Amino acid sequence: MPGRRVAQPGEKSENPDIELGPEEIEKLIAAERPQFAALADRLHDAASGALKAINNKNAKGLYDAGEGIDAACERCHLRYWYPNEVLPEPPK
């Protein structure tokens, strides 16, 4: 949402050794607003799947949607919250 802040004024990162501060995150988001919006759309789509599964009382569907929600969150966080994190190589 335009105008929505990453954090309240004066708030600082709880893990400054791991994640960027709110001001840095907001700068990255502002510089890449369309990309950030696309990531938010992915989260919306994943959450919509969870709501559908809940309404259908489909536990497996909810579990599967949870994986999509987690993946959507992680994609965004890796880009904007902790972009300098070095990830381990996936197992071969």
Q: What is the DSSP letter of 21?
A: -
- Are 20 and 81 in contact by the 8 Å Cβ rule? The answer is yes
Our count of domains for the chain comes to 1
In DSSP notation, 63-80 reads HHHHHHHHHHHHHHHHHH
Q: Which domain holds residue 76?
A: 22-80
**Is 57 among the domain residues?**
yes
**Is 37 among the domain residues?**
yes
- Are 80 and 24 in contact by the 8 Å Cβ rule? The answer is no
**Is 50 among the domain residues?**
yes
Whole-angstrom distance, CA of residue 47 vs CA of residue 50: 5
pTM of structure: 0.78
For the stretch 24-81, pLDDT in tens is 999 999 999 999 999 999 999 999 999 999 999 999 999 999 999 999 999 999 999 9
